[in-house]
A = this chain, B = another copy of it.
Amino acid sequence: MINSNSMISAKLASPPPSLLLPPSPRLQGRRLAPSCLSDAGMPPQSPACPGPDQESSGVARSGAKAPAAGSSSSSSSPSRSSPPRGSAQLNRWSRARAHRSGRRLEWPTIRDRSGASKAPPPTRQPSSGEAATAVVEDDIDDGVLGIGRDESAKSIYMVSDGTGWTAEHSVNAALGQFEHCLVDRGCAVNTHLFNGIDDLDRLIEIIKQAAKEGALVLYTLADPSMAEATKKACELWGVPSTDVLRPTIEAIASHIGVAPSGIPRSSPSRKGQLTEDYFRRIEAIDFTIKQDDGAQPQNLNRAHIVLVGVSRTGKTPLSIYLAQKGYKVANVPIVMGVNLPKSLFEIDQDKIFGLTINPVVLQAIRKARAKALGFHGHKSNYAEMEHVRGELDHANQIFSTHPIWPVIEVTGKAIEESAAVVVRIFHDRKQKCAMPRISKRY
């Protein structure tokens, strides 16, 4: 907890000396990081590192917690030097952003609420040679190679004192509202997650960098003084910012009549509980992995949920997603010419769910799968349309003789969406309510 307002003011008062250092050209000419056209589920990569002379402090670290930026080297250079590409609208945004950012960076003096004069944030403008700010040693995946960095992308900084997954999840969901303009449609966004930020120095450093990059700052900080410092610093330096979780926390506080603790989840004072939950969730994951792909049919009775479907209807990822939520899931493949295990028909039929999918989409998925696995000769009918249709017909016949099994149409659904349908039906059946809901006790 940071209790002193004067401490915050002191932090805001002066940029660290390193920000005044000239940039190092060391990394110029090195390969740019491949950007990853990914959504929430994908391995994120760095389309933009703050500056070219920061490599020295980026060495691998050992230990339980990776320390974030030290104060040793931070003469970051924003990368606005390349001409923005894309649509005319995009160019307008880019210019507008550059304009806004410039204005921010050139503010002569900044006053905080106490009226004290503050030093401005660093004013150094990037040179054209500093565009190469993102460097990786090797690639996360060959599949994402060759996608260049988008200079015109808007930056969103997510700052969290914990894992940052809440901010990431919320931002990802919110970005769903801008799908009509993201990436392929000309308006790219880069998100940058700064997690485990529990001290003011790093926080201020990040906000200064956000000011330089023209980024939006979205934060989840439990400690009210850290949240307040973020708000204040962002206001001072003209950085747009929003506290992602505060309205929800305040609504709950007001509803239950209890003040929030203000203690980040990572705090030692919130550690060390081995809850029943922990064991149950681990057990669900263990169970689900062991049952994957029809293994151990004698254990189907121990599952909460049993998924049945042909190959590549997403049984495994759906099982795993549900297991993470604490459900023990078994999945049983439907394969032509192979009988379903007898035990499937002996267990509680209420917990069995069929999965089905459009044959054209299934064929596309199977072709990709076959390619990935290097199928060419044998098993070649796996992705043939006639075979795909035949197998789906076979599955649908099985489903129609067991009308108690809900059949989930997974075509075009994200794993999370299919999971939501399964969980809803599962709880409807348990509850027998007219107003279906998924309830928990805390």
Contacts and interface: CB of A to CB of B under 8 A. Distances in A.
A88 to B, nearest CB: 13
Given A62-B407, A136-B431, A193-B438, 5 more contacts: A42-B280, A72-B434, A134-B431, A166-B173, A241-B251
B316 A286 contact: yes
A23 to B, nearest CB: 12
A336 interface: no
A137 B429 contact: yes
A398 interface: no
Contacts of A434: 50-51, 54-58, 69-70, 72-74, 76
A397 B276 CA distance: 32
A143 B276 contact: yes
B276 A255 contact: no
A39 B324 CA distance: 12
A40 B432 CA distance: 23
B425 A41 contact: no
A153 interface: yes
Interface string A240-274: 11111101111111111110111101100011111
Interface in A26-51: 33, 35-51
Nearest to A189: B442
Contacts of A38: 277, 280, 326, 440-441
5 contacts: A44-B439, A58-B436, A164-B420, A205-B435, A218-B251
A438 to B, nearest CB: 4
A281 interface: yes
Contacts of A266: 417
B253 A242 contact: no
A334 interface: no
Interface string A88-115: 0000010010000000000000000000
A435 B254 contact: no
A72 B245 CA distance: 37
Contacts of A328: 141
A421 to B, nearest CB: 6
Interface stretch (A118-126, A176-184, A378-386): A176-184
A435 B292 contact: no
Interface stretch (A1-9, A360-368, A387-395): A360-368
Q: How large is the interface on A (under 10, 10 to 19, 20 to 34, 35 or more residues)?
A: 35 or more
A409 interface: yes
Nearest to A437: B192
Contacts of A70: 434
A419 to B, nearest CB: 7
Given A135-B432, A276-B37, A44 B440 contact: yes
Scoring A58, A76, A173, A364 by chain B CB atoms within 10 A of each residue's CB, the highest score goes to A173
Contacts of A337: none
A424 B64 CA distance: 11
Nearest to A209: B435
A164 B421 CA distance: 11
Contact of A182 (B59, B141, B164, B442): B442
A306 to B, nearest CB: 14
Interface string A161-203: 0111110011101111111111100011111111110000000
B361 A274 contact: yes
A45 to B, nearest CB: 6
A439 B46 contact: yes
B252 A178 contact: yes
Closest 3 CB pairs of A and B: A54-B434, A64-B409, A163-B420
Nearest to A202: B435
A11 interface: no
